[in-house]
Amino acid sequence: MWQVYFKELTELMRDRKTLIFVILLPIFIFPVIFGVMGLVLSSTTSKAMQEEHRYVIVNAEQAPEFRDAMFYHKNFKQVQTEKTAEADLVAAIRNDEFDVAIIIPADFSVKRQAVEQVQWQIIYNQSSQFDFMYRYFTDMLATYNEQLQRETLNQLNVDPQKLAAIIKPVDVKKVDTADKRENIGEKFGAVIAYILVPLCLLGASYPAIDMGAGEKERGTLETLLICPISRISIVLGKFLTVLTTGLLGAMITVGSFGIWGAIIGSFAGMAVVQEAMSAIAITELILIFSLLLPISAVFAALLLAISIYARTFKEAQNYISPLSVLIFVPLVAAMMPGVELNAKTALVPVMNVALAIKELIKGTADYMMLALIFGSTLLLAAAAIGFCVHWFQQEKVLFR
């Protein structure tokens, strides 16, 4: 078995494609991709925050203070229009004549004097993912509302010292029991698992295809089978090679993200993130690796079984593609709000590992749950390895 393992590993290290998939991609290409995505998102958000929105106010004379606040706001630019009806304003916004229209009722000042509630209308396109305009509007409206409240209470001869208590009887101060690490882990723990688990699959995919379907195409599988080595030793040697490359790809990616993250964080001043990540102990990193080990073994066994069954390299790729898509379903489920690690989710393959990694990064892991996840995934890996060994001993599979 070990002879086959070292033979396959040596051949893979000589293959440029393996070096690209297992080493080059994790070290350079993935961080560059995510870095570019982050820069684009940051640039888009910054641009959206600084965007100048063209607006019109119908019956602006009814609220001169609010009219002036919008006029002097850096993110708003007033335009003139003769349109006042809602349908006409909607059509004008769709025709890109302006971005937002605010309709103040014509009797606003009268109802204000009578201390009656009045409904304003704001018309704009809400499909934008960066809806900063409405945030600016609501902030100004909240300030204007408070100003009107104070004026009304003054007219009613209310003690000025009691205005704050009347306007806002209850003021809430939030005290968060979660530390910085727990907050960051809750937000990004599942994302890290979303990256690590597929990388274990990706790192094992090419070697698995090459050692099964690839050997069939090259005609070297028959030569290996006539060697004085049992088929169980051959398949286990191949399995260990696939498992090694999968885990190696994940480990290199983790190290690469850590190094690049530290470099970028030092320039960007991400002291909070650095402080939280530095709180992760070496024990927890070992536990994360321990959880990746059995799930990577499952992937390696399944990928090798598929590759052994396929006739050609291309056919193996076609079979593996659905598996690659399938593992994202439990990973996405683990990222959904309200999904927590418990006795039921601890038995769901892939999802349980993702949830456990999130808990470890948060620093709130239950070690009994981790043991349950490790044990159940280990059993699944043993079953997958057993199936792969059985599959490799079938003549109708090897010589399709």
Query: Alpha carbon 10 to chain centroid distance?
Result: 36
State the Cα–Cα distance between residues 67 and 125, nearest whole angstrom: 21
pLDDT tens digits along 145-170: 888 888 887 777 777 677 777 777 88
Per-residue pLDDT at 379: 93
Predicted pLDDT at 90: 92
CA distance 302 to 304: 5
For the chain, percent of residues with pLDDT exceeding 70: 79
Distance CA 130, CA 144 (A): 24
Interval 269-318: pLDDT, tens = 455 555 555 556 677 778 888 888 888 889 888 988 888 888 888 888 88
Measure the CA–CA gap between 152 and 27, rounded to whole angstroms.
64
Per-residue model confidence as pLDDT tens digits over 64-91 = 999 999 999 999 999 998 898 999 999 9
- What pLDDT is recorded for position 88? 92
Average pLDDT along the chain? 80
Q: Is the pLDDT of residue 321 over 90?
A: no
pLDDT tens per residue across span 331-346 = 888 888 778 888 888 8
- Name the one residue in this structure whose structure tokens are 């907050």: 183
Say whether pLDDT at 324 is over 70. yes
Cα dihedral value 247, 252, 257, 262, nearest 10: 130
Give yes or no for residue 264 having a pLDDT over 60: no
Q: Is the pLDDT of residue 106 over 80?
A: yes
Is the whole-model pTM more than 0.75? no
If you average pLDDT over residues 348-352, what whole number do you get? Answer: 90
Indicate if the alpha-carbon torsion angle 181, 187, 193, 196 is positive or negative.
Answer: negative
Which residues fall within 8 angstroms of residue 203, CB to CB, at 6 or more apart?
21, 22, 26, 245, 246, 247, 248, 249, 250
Q: Above 70 in pLDDT, residue 179?
A: no
Q: What is the pLDDT of residue 366?
A: 86
